[in-house]
Chain A
């Protein structure tokens, strides 16, 4: 694969767009769940807020903080994906996505399990950036499992 293709796959238009205009960006004052995601290596630093109702449904999810394009767009897309889902679904998707980013080889099922988040596959060519893509999701798992 040429370098140009690799970079294009990494910085896809959708990713760049979420980086420029992160969705659900800001603090949530009535959050029921919270987690802090921090990558000390590169200084990516996010706060994740969730409001989960008594039926376990995510009513609102926001994030704030700073970091690279990959970590920010991943967090932003995560919030758009999870609003309205319930906590269990969120947890399942989170595990799928982290597996998708970190497994040595991917099967068709692995790709299907993450849906549109497939577009982060290009990050896999950049091992040091994988943590950027998974940071927000890791925080999510911490938030919903209460760890």
Chain B
């Protein structure tokens, strides 16, 4: 794949070495197409949206509307009004917990999450449960890091009205059988939010095929800018939900006695949005479309296989997360060597990986490790970079032998 030249950051050096960027699950680098589009917009097109009678504001408004439409296509939603711009996946989840959960869930109702959730798809539900007297149930995983579907199904009960589950695990790489989970949940009368933060960069998302009630992801993990994310919600939910924040842009009419709210998506987008970032996100959608999912899958799967093979041969290395279906991400530990020390040595070799609990402390607990090292791959990574990783891990072994 000839894509590296599209990403200016990939030419950087770190600690005197060529940067080997393997922290894509945290955030991805940006193609020039995104950077240039944002710069161009700020230099020559920038104005606020919705409010201006003047031409530049109208053009800005139109550009943002076009990105919403591209996003609709990106997730295959039925209508563009089902796409809400948020600050990221975290805000999208909090929005649903507040505007849907707080309104529709009653004392004694149940919410199911999984053991592999990112804290951002766990803590908002926990807080809601405490506030409203709901019960939070956790679907367990096996030692390969796969969700136990049977156990999940058993948890679905008469009072289970909501399921919040990740599409792809950021700590383990597991791709969950989301379609089946949604089917089971709907059968039991529960609405489903899918945390797509780690799926959107790797898989074609089709919310109509999945039939999920909510789907969310962050712009910065799909080669777009920080500060913008997407919440898809089925129109009938969005219409019934309460607003999330109150302010400008989300009202129909205001007087001191009564305010009526705008229709979705405006109802959930109070205040001036991240206009420049929305424009950048649009450029990211275009860029991904140009590369194409087939090419992305082929390359990332090949890299995952190659890296899994290579890492497995390192003495004392154990891969955490060996699900049948995995995205291009490998969590690992080295016998007797703390991930932080691995991260520091690799950093000196110019290799960026993540070391820590990855905001998934329950997963760490399951595998009885305090933390893991994680190498996560994007379509711009290469076999040579995997080789560099392996070589650097050998250096870690040498130091700590």
A and B co-occur in one complex: yes
B:78-100 near A, CB below 8 Å: none
B-chain residues with CB within 8 Å of residue A42 when the two chains form the complex? 339-340, 355-356, 371
Contacts of A43 in B (CB 8 A): 356-357, 364, 370-371
Complex Cα spacing A68 to B345, Å: 12
Q: Which one of A5-13, A50-58, A102-110 contacts B? A: A5-13
B57 sits at the interface (CB 8 A) = no
Residues of A within 8 A of B338 (CB): 66-69, 72
B305 interfacial by beta-carbon distance below 8 Å? no
Contacts of B341 in A (CB 8 A): 11, 68-70
Identify which of residues 328-369 in chain B touch chain A, using a CB-to-CB cut-off of 8 Å. Answer: 336-341, 344-345, 348-349, 355-357, 364
CA distance A20 to B400 in the complex (A): 9
- A132 proximal to B (CB < 8 A): yes
Asked if A45 is at the interface (CB within 8 A of a chain B CB), the reply is: yes
Chain B proximity mask over A3-47: 1 for CB below 8 Å, otherwise 0: 100110011000010011000000000000000000001111100
**Inside 8 A of B356's CB, which chain A residues have their CB?**
41-43
Q: B350's closest neighbor in chain A, by CB?
A: A3
Interface centre among A7, A19, A72, A126 (most CB of B within 10 A): A7
Contact A66–B370 (Cβ < 8 Å): yes
| A129 close to chain B: CB less than 8 A | yes
Q: Report Cα–Cα, A45/B361, bound state, in Å.
A: 13
For B371, the chain A residues whose CB sits under 8 A away are 42-43
Expressed in whole angstroms, the Cα–Cα distance for A48 and B337 within the complex equals 22
Q: B345: which A residues are within 8 A, CB to CB?
A: 7
The answer to whether A68 touches B340, judged by C-beta atoms less than 8 angstroms apart, is yes
- Kindly identify which residue among A6, A45, A70 contacts B348, using a CB–CB cutoff of 8 Å: A6
CB-CB contacts below 8 Å: A106-126 with B: 126
| B370 and A67 within 8 A (CB) | yes
Q: Which of B348, B356, B364 is most buried by chain A, counting CB atoms within 10 A of its CB?
A: B348
* Contact status of A132 and B399, CB under 8 A, knowing A7-B345, A43-B371, A67-B370: no
State how many angstroms separate the Cβ of A47 from the closest Cβ of chain B: 14
Task: Contact check, A45 vs B15: say whether CB atoms are below 8 A apart.
Answer: no
Count chain A residues whose beta carbon lies closer than 8 angstroms to a beta carbon of B. 23
Q: Which of B286-333 contact A (CB under 8 A)?
A: none
**Chain A proximity of B316: nearest CB distance (Å):** 14
Q: Tell me whether B370 and A7 are in contact (CB under 8 A).
A: no
Query: Which residues of chain A from 61 to 85 have any CB-CB distance to chain B below 8 Å in the complex?
Result: 66-70, 72
A55 to B336, CA, bound (A): 39
Taken together as a complex, chains A and B put the C-alpha atoms of A44 and B357 apart, in Å, by: 11
Taking CB atoms, residues of chain B closer than 8 Å to A132 are: 340
A132 vs B148: C-alpha distance when bound (angstroms): 37
Task: Indicate with 1 or 0, residue by residue over B1-20, a CB within 8 angstroms of chain A CB atoms.
Answer: 00000000000000111000
Q: How far is the CA of A41 from the CA of B361 in the complex (A)?
A: 11
CA–CA, A19 and B364, complex, Å:
22
Complex CA gap A7/B399 in Å reads: 9
Residues of B close to A126: CB separation below 8 A:
344
Question: Contacts of A72 on B, CB cut-off 8 Å?
Answer: 338
Report the minimum CB–CB distance from B59 to chain A (whole Å). Answer: 44
Q: Nearest-CB distance from B145 to chain A (Å)?
A: 19
Look across to chain B and name the residue whose beta carbon is closest to the beta carbon of A10: B344
Residues A3 and B15 in contact, CB atoms below 8 Å apart: yes
CA distance A45 to B371 in the complex (A): 11
Known: A67-B338, A68-B340, A132-B340. A7 touches B348 (CB 8 A): yes
- A45 to B336: give the CA distance in the assembly, Å: 16
Q: How far is the CA of A68 from the CA of B107 in the complex (A)?
A: 44
Q: Given A7-B348, A129-B344, A132-B340, decide whether A45 and B370 contact each other with a Cβ distance below 8 A.
A: yes
Of chain A, the residue at the smallest CB distance from B336 is A20
Tell me, rounded to whole Å, the shortest Cβ–Cβ distance linking B98 to chain A: 25
Give bound CA distance, A114 to B292, whole Å.
59
Known: A3-B348, A44-B370. 13 other contacts (CB 8 A): A3-B349, A6-B348, A7-B399, A11-B400, A19-B400, A41-B356, A42-B339, A42-B340, A42-B356, A44-B340, A67-B338, A68-B339, A68-B340
User: Chain A: residues with CB nearer than 8 A to chain B?
Assistant: 2-3, 6-7, 10-11, 16, 19-20, 41-45, 66-70, 72, 126, 129, 132
A and B contact pairs by CB, cutoff 8 A, 27 listed: A2-B16, A3-B16, A3-B17, A3-B348, A3-B349, A7-B344, A7-B348, A7-B399, A10-B344, A16-B400, A20-B336, A42-B340, A42-B355, A42-B356, A43-B356, A43-B357, A43-B370, A44-B370, A45-B370, A66-B338, A67-B370, A68-B339, A68-B341, A69-B337, A69-B338, A70-B341, A129-B340
A-B pairs with the 4 shortest C-beta distances?
A68-B338, A68-B340, A43-B370, A43-B371
